[in-house]
Amino acid sequence: MKIKKLSSAALLAALMLSPLSLQAAEGGSSVYLPGFIGPQAGMVPEAGNYFQYTYYNYDGQVSGSAKRSFALGPGGGVVVTAGASAKLDLDLTANVFTYTHIFEKKLWGGSPGIGIAVPYVTADLTAAGTFTINNVPVVSGRRTAEATGIGDTSVTGLIGWHHGYWHYGVFANVYIPTGKYDKNDALNVGMNRWALQPMGTLTYLNETNGIEVSTALGFTFNRENHATNYKSGNEMNLELALIQHLSQKFHLGVVGYHYKQLSGDSGSGAVLGAFKGRVNGLGAVVGGAIPLGGSNMLYINTRYYKESGAKNRFEGDALYVSASMKF
């Protein structure tokens, strides 16, 4: 990863408001990407081997400011106000490769499976800021950072059930810190922390009228990043999809998610204290199935989310394009 100075002076404002001081959950992001599950969240497929490729792009911003007044001179008769403001712009792309095996043998009446997902991540971060005295700009500038490489791997154990129009599953996602990480870098492709995420999923799919309602609820329990002594708070992700299947090969609908940090950040590295984050996402989905010959099908869907209501977290636009097939 490279950091490039775009101004001749050190950016004092960016130092006062570093990337980590503007965002909750260390690095301003989660091990789980909100909106990743999407349509048919509760539908575990039939026994076999499955491959899925997901393209993910996120363009988000976060900003912050601070001011402090000082009384100077004899008797404190002169008041000087120093301030700093900074804005971060993040452009992140992930290519996620997922393999899933669904076993033929039933467990507790359901279909068990195991999966592994490996992302390849490219990210660019730009920090722009200004330092002021009595609201007059004194120093301003920008810094940029880049990071590329394999991110953190996730391993999933799952089991799913089907009863008529109802489909539901239980997942246990374990996030392994396999991505490159350096605590001195402003941007990393790995998070250097383990995490466990139990998740429940549910889908109602009426095959007569084509109406689908899907939801997923997950809770992420983060371990400490020992390189920074920073423990991100526990998190909650709620996802919802309302979809109309116009045929067996085409569907469209509305998707959304709500992310909330349930407990505050902690550890000696969490200098700003609890600093909980939250954000909402709302958007659309369109997808379908492409015959590959015989009974083989390639399933594709595209999802776009516009975020709002962010606190202590990036707010922006997220795009998913997923393709999956049995082999």
The closest of 135, 171, 174 to 152, measured between CA atoms, is: 174
Stretch 245-256: mean pLDDT, rounded? Answer: 94
pTM for the complete prediction?
0.85
Q: What is the pLDDT of residues 35-59, one digit of tens each?
A: 998 889 999 999 999 999 999 999 9
Q: Is the pLDDT of residue 294 over 70?
A: yes
Average model confidence (pLDDT) across the chain: 85
Q: Which position has the higher pLDDT, 269 or 303? A: 303
Burial of 273 (0-12, 13-18, 19+ CB in 10 A): exposed
Q: What is the pLDDT of residues 157-188, one digit of tens each?
A: 999 999 999 999 999 999 999 999 898 887 88
* Confidence band, pLDDT 50/70/90 cuts, at residue 87: confident
Structural domains of the chain, with CATH: 3-63+81-326 (2.40.128)
